[in-house]
Amino acid sequence: MLFACISADVYEMIVDCADYETALSKLKRVYVKSPNAIFARHALATRKQNPEESLHTFLKELLVLSKACNFQDVTAEFYRNELFRDAFINGLKCQEIRQRLLETNELTLDQTFDIANSFDMALKHSASYLSHEKGRSAAAAVTPGDNIYANGTQRRSSSSCTIPTQPKGSFCVKAYHERDRFPARDAICCSCKKRGHFSWACRSRLGSKYSG
């Protein structure tokens, strides 16, 4: 009768079974998944009443969730440890650690702490490794000829110089002056013998100094 009610794929699973009880047991192992009591208790403890949910509906939902919690007659010490374990899982601030713990169907209090502690140390070591790698990458990005200020900004070596540039509309390399107030307007340069600038601001002399 069982063979007549199943598909060909299911038949392949139990074709070697000698009796009905063996075949039914094998099918239960394949299709009937035991509930995760750890997750069921977490869902029960964290279930909140929805805004539009009545008290009757809320209570009914809690009763449904409690069926998968695998409650048993236990001693007071065992019951205390289970509550302690559930409170520890519910109160974790790290979602990754909580997810790892909820993946396990059965956990004692000691096992819960050992798994959480190991995963927490792994996360800290990973963060430290990434921070160290970023520091090495930042140090390698600085060229040997450059210096770094205390605030992390980059400055060029003291051996490199740049020719001072004039602001737009300026006639002085040190400060902005209007043409009628330019101090060297009538001065004669000692280097190029031209009128209109001092020798220390002579463009011909500066150009020969910084060229090459």
Of 88, 113, 135, which closes a domain? Answer: 135
The pLDDT tens digits for 157-205 are 444 444 445 554 445 555 555 566 666 677 777 778 777 777 777 777 6
Classify residue 16 as left (phi > 0), alpha (psi -120 to 50) or beta.
alpha
Q: How far apart are CA 75 and CA 78, in angstroms?
A: 5
Q: How far apart are CA 55 and CA 59, in angstroms?
A: 6
**82 phi and psi angles, rounded to 5 deg:** -65, -45
Does residue 144 lie within any of the structural domains?
no
On whether both 114 and 201 belong to a single domain, the answer is no
Q: How far apart are CA 92 and CA 148, in angstroms?
A: 42
Q: Is the pLDDT of residue 64 over 50?
A: yes
On whether both 75 and 124 belong to a single domain, the answer is yes
Q: How far apart are CA 157 and CA 138, in angstroms?
A: 19
SS3 content of the chain, % helix, strand, coil (to 5): 55, 5, 45
Host domain of residue 205: 167-212
Of 91, 117, 135, which closes a domain? Answer: 135
Does residue 123 lie within any of the structural domains?
yes
Q: Please say whether the beta carbons of 138 and 115 come within 8 A.
A: no
| Whole-number pLDDT of residue 159 | 45
Give the global pTM: 0.42
Domain count, the chain: 2
On whether both 47 and 103 belong to a single domain, the answer is yes
The pLDDT tens digits for 112-124 are 889 889 888 888 8
The CA-to-CA distance between both ends of the chain, in Å, stands at 100
On whether both 91 and 172 belong to a single domain, the answer is no
Q: Where are the beta strands (DSSP E) in the chain?
A: 146-148, 154-156
